[in-house]
Structure formats: structure tokens, C-alpha cells
């Protein structure tokens, strides 16, 4: 058996049977057998079934939120918000099967049309920071497009995914359509990536593992979507609403205890307002309530594990330039206080690596060109923000930042209806929004000759020699 811990108490909250390669293969086989009939379900019926699953999830929001809050150590208010997003994601994609449109293309001698075909069995590998939300971003479009799937949750947070599997069956999804393998990444995840009957892998996690997945997927020419790490810049100009920007900046790093790929963990502040900005930030940092995830007043929980806490600690050595330090509980639980480092140079280790904990780096800049250069001086490119009252500059800088999601006068990143994903080493492909659906399909082109013997293909001399 393997134990699932509660990070706020370090106590065991569940014991699960060990699963390995054989169980992964069995799940892929179930998905493979279920695929032809799931693919054949009419778009309207598939839509009804997905709405049914959304209803089932909506009915269980509170218990799912409590489960996630305990298992991932996140404040219950945040967990409720996440479960609402899970429901919203299923509802959004429940509307998709009937909108999976192709094109007709004018060609000579006949009619050319395209279809969006499902891929088959897809493998979905998700992390522990937003366990069910990130699973939903993948599961809902994959099912809507007619695929069957194997979902592998993170070792530390498998419980909500297992609930999803149970609710899907209860909501009437046929057996074998949605399978969960709660095993390790090294064994079960790796097997999904290498499995000859898995057509695609969608992964959210570390850049290092993502790199390995891209390499391993090449063996079977698998389609991959990768959503990886980040080191996003929150650029604050002197003409911004400083109080609002400073009140929001800590939340954009310390939300989910900093374990967020979109964390704006590099706060770039124009030098002329640097000290004032830090002064305003202080109040928000000290207002954070770090504690029991199930307490309604809590705004920041513990880190996910002892190992994560050790990794985070290494970014705050004795001589670190700690400008603000919040408080955290003692005793059992993987606690770490919110810490603001300032001033930090963009070349410092804390500013270059994804810390994935409540550590913010505040970096001064001189002017617009310098701000863009520093913002882009990173291997990552997931998200970012620009704060200014100058609309033209806001758009100029937003366009110049090499990142997939940039907000102006806001630190939000994710909406069910809009695309989300990374530039550079933050990933490949996009999730959410209408186009995510296409990432779970192949485009098929069908030509129907209406004037036999004519048409461009017949005239191509190379056709018989084509591969």
C-alpha cells in the first residue's frame, strides 16, 4: 500500500494499493476497447453525458473541495473556487461535441471537406498543485472530442482524480472511457508515454520531466501538449496605481503557497518607486493568514511535502536579502512563511529558477526597454503582468513580453474560455478555450470526386511515386 499524506498535519489520510506497469497497461487496454463505441456516441448524447458529469461534480463541490484542501494543503476558499472551475470546464466542453466543425474547401472536380477525428486513447499526466483543475482542463476536451483516456494524478494528490473516476461512472459514462491510474510518474507515467497504443500525452509538471516526456514520446511519434514551469514577471511602472499593484503582487506569488506555474515570482519595479512599492507590499504580506487549510480565514496553507520545503528553503540562505518575512505555524505540517527578497538582481539564483514556494524576488528596473529585457531574460515564458496607467505602453510591453498569457493591471492568468500555455521552455501547445479541443483531434481531409476523371490530383505526375 502507499500512504497519502495531509501536508498540514503530516498524517496519513488514505492508503492506496500499489499500481505499476501491469495496471497501466490494463487501463490503456480498457480505454482502447471503449474507444470505438465512445467515438460512435452521437455528438448530442456525448454532450448530454458530459453535462451529466458536470452536474455530478457540481453536486459534490463541497466534499471535493474539502478533499482537495486536505490533500493538497490549500485554503478551503481557494479549493471551492477550484472545484467551481472544474464544473465550469466540464460545462464548457460539454457544449463542444456539437461544435466540432470542419471546413469545406473549394477544389476542382469535387468537394473537399475536413473532419476533426478523435486521436484514440490519450494519456493525461497531472501535478499536485491544482490536482483536479488541471485534470479537468485535459479530461473535458479529450472526452468531448471523442477520445478515451488514462489519467495519472500526482503521487502526492491522487484522491480527487479517483473521485472524478467514480463520479464519471455514476453519471453514466461508459466503463473504460475515463480510467485513473494512481501510480508513480517514473513507472506508470513513463509507461503511458512509451505505450504504443497511447496516441497523445498531455502533461503538466516540471520542465525537466517535460523534456524527458518529449524525448520519450518521439519513439512512437506521440502528440504532446506540455505545460511546464514558469518564472513570470510582474512589471510595475511608476505611473501605475501603486497601492493596487502592491496589494495584488504578493497574492500573485503566495497564492497556493507559491506552488503555481503562473506565480509572478519576479516583481519588476521601476527604480523611482521601488521603496514605496515595498512599503505598500508589506501590509498585504503581513495580512496573509498562514494556517489550517480547513479554517475559513486561512489564505495560505503549507507546502506540499518535506522535500518541497527543503527545496524552497535553499533559496533563502542566511545571507539572503529578506525585505519582508511573514509568519507560519510551528510543529507538524510542511509550513514555510511568505518571504520577499529585495533588491534582487535578475542573474541571482532565486530570480532564475522556479522556486515553487512562497518566495518573491523584487527587482528594480530603469525604463521600459530595461523592463522588457529583464522580463524576457529567462528560459521560461508562461505568464506575466504589466501595471501602468499609460494604455499604449501597457499594450507595447504586453506584446513584447515573450509569454503565453499576459495581464494588464491584473495578475490573473486562467479563464476556461481563453487559451493558456507557454512560450519557450514553459511548454508546447495550449489548453482551455475552443482551440484546446483541436489538440485532442486529428484533422482529416476528405475529397469527394463529383466529376470522375477530373480534378487536380489526377493531373499530378508525381502521384504514383508519392510515399
Give catalytic residues, as residue numbers. Answer: 227, 261
Closest approach, Cβ 399 to ligand TXE, in A, equals 24
Size of the site for ligand TXE (CB under 6 A): 26
Listed in sequence order, the residues at least 6 apart from 268 whose beta carbon sits closer than 8 Å to its beta carbon are 233, 234, 235, 236, 363, 364, 365, 371, 374, 375
DSSP designation for 279: H
Residue of 205, 255, 293, 333 interacting with ligand TXE (CB under 6 A): 205
| 73 vs 205 by CB, closer to ligand TXE | 205
Closest approach, Cβ 426 to ligand TXE, in A, equals 8
Kindly list the distances between the CA atom of residue 335 and the CA atoms of 86, 293, 330, 331, in Å, as whole numbers in the listed order.
27, 12, 7, 8
Residue of 82, 155, 163, 270 interacting with ligand TXE (CB under 6 A): 155
Q: Is 186 in the site for ligand TXE (CB under 6 A)?
A: yes
Q: Is 152 in the site for ligand TXE (CB under 6 A)?
A: yes
- Residue 217 neighbours by CB distance under 10 Å: 21
Residue of 206, 299, 327, 409 interacting with ligand TXE (CB under 6 A): 206
| 154 vs 285 by CB, closer to ligand TXE | 154
- Residue 319 neighbours by CB distance under 10 Å: 6
The answer to whether residues 346 and 266 touch, using CB atoms and an 8 Å cutoff, is: yes
Residue nearest to ligand TXE (CB): 185
Closest approach, Cβ 230 to ligand TXE, in A, equals 7
The answer to whether residues 352 and 378 touch, using CB atoms and an 8 Å cutoff, is: yes
**Dist. CA 227–CA 211, nearest whole Å:** 11
**Dist. CA 362–CA 261, nearest whole Å:** 18
| 205 vs 338 by CB, closer to ligand TXE | 205
65 to 84, contacts with ligand TXE by CB under 6 A? Answer: none
Residue of 6, 165, 227, 270 interacting with ligand TXE (CB under 6 A): 227
Report the interhelical angle of 131-144 vs 159-170 (nearest 10°). Answer: 40
Q: Is 356 in the site for ligand TXE (CB under 6 A)?
A: yes
Query: Measuring CA to CA, which residue among 248, 233, 275 is closest to residue 375?
Result: 233
Residue of 209, 246, 285, 374 interacting with ligand TXE (CB under 6 A): 209
Contact footprint for ligand TXE (CB under 6 A): 125-129, 152, 154-155, 184-186, 189-190, 193, 204-206, 209, 212-213, 227-229, 261, 354, 356
Amino acid at each position: 500500500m502507499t500512504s497519502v499524506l495531509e501536508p498540514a498535519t503530516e498524517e496519513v489520510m488514505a492508503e492506496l494499493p500499489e499500481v505499476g506497469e501491469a495496471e497501466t497497461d490494463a487501463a490503456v487496454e480498457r480505454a482502447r476497447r471503449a474507444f470505438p463505441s465512445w467515438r460512435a456516441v452521437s455528438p448530442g448524447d456525448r454532450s448530454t453525458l458530459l453535462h451529466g458529469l458536470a452536474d455530478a461534480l457540481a453536486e459534490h463541490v463541497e466534499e471535493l473541495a474539502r478533499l482537495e484542501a486536505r490533500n493538497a494543503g490549500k485554503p478551503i476558499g481557494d479549493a471551492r473556487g477550484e472545484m467551481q472551475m472544474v464544473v465550469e470546464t466540464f460545462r464548457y466542453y460539454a457544449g463542444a461535441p456539437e461544435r466540432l466543425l470542419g471546413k469545406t474547401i473549394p477544389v476542382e472536380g469535387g468537394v473537399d471537406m475536413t473532419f476533426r477525428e478523435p486521436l484514440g486513447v490519450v494519456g493525461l499526466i497531472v501535478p499536485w498543485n491544482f490536482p483536479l483543475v488541471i485534470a479537468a482542463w485535459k479530461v473535458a476536451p479529450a472526452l468531448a472530442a471523442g477520445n478515451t483516456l488514462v489519467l495519472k494524478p500526482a503521487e502526492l494528490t491522487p484522491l480527487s482524480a479517483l473521485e472524478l473516476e467514480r463520479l464519471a461512472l455514476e453519471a453514466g459514462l461508459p466503463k473504460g472511457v475515463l480510467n485513473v491510474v494512481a501510480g508513480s510518474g517514473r513507472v506508470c507515467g513513463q509507461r503511458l508515454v512509451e505505450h504504443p497504443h497511447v496516441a497523445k500525452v498531455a502533461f503538466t509538471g516540471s520542465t525537466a520531466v517535460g523534456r524527458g516526456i518529449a524525448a520519450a514520446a518521439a519513439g512512437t511519434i506521440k502528440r504532446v501538449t506540455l505545460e511546464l514551469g514558469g518564472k513570470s514577471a510582474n512589471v510595475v511602472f511608476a505611473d501605475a496605481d501603486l497601492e493596487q499593484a502592491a496589494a495584488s503582487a504578493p497574492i500573485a506569488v503566495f497564492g497556493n503557497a507559491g506552488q503555481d506555474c503562473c506565480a509572478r515570482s519576479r516583481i519588476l519595479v521601476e527604480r523611482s518607486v521601488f521603496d514605496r512599492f515595498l512599503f505598500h507590499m508589506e501590509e498585504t504580506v503581513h495580512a496573509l493568514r498562514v494556517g489550517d487549510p480547513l479554517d475559513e480565514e486561512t489564505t495560505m496553507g503549507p507546502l506540499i511535502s518535506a522535500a518541497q520545503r527543503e527545496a524552497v528553503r535553499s533559496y533563502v540562505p542566511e545571507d539572503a536579502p529578506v525585505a519582508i518575512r511573514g509568519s507560519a505555524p510551528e510543529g507538524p505540517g510542511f509550513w514555510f512563511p511568505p518571504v520577499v527578497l529585495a533588491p534582487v538582481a535578475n542573474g541571482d539564483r532565486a530570480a532564475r529558477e522556479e522556486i515553487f514556494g512562497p518566495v518573491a524576488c523584487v527587482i528594480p528596473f530603469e525604463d521600459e526597454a530595461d523592463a522588457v529585457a529583464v522580463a524576457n531574460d529567462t528560459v521560461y515564458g508562461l505568464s506575466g503582468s504589466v501595471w501602468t496607467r499609460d494604455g499604449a505602453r501597457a499594450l507595447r510591453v504586453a506584446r513584447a513580453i515573450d509569454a503565453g498569457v499576459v495581464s494588464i493591471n491584473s495578475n490573473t492568468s486562467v479563464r476556461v474560455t481563453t487559451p493558456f500555455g507557454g512560450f519557450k521552455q514553459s511548454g508546447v501547445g495550449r489548453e482551455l478555450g475552443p482551440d484546446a479541443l483541436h489538440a485532442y483531434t486529428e484533422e482529416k481531409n476528405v475529397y469527394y470526386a463529383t466529376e470522375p476523371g477530373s480534378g487536380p490530383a489526377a493531373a499530378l505526375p508525381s502521384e504514383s511515386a508519392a510515399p
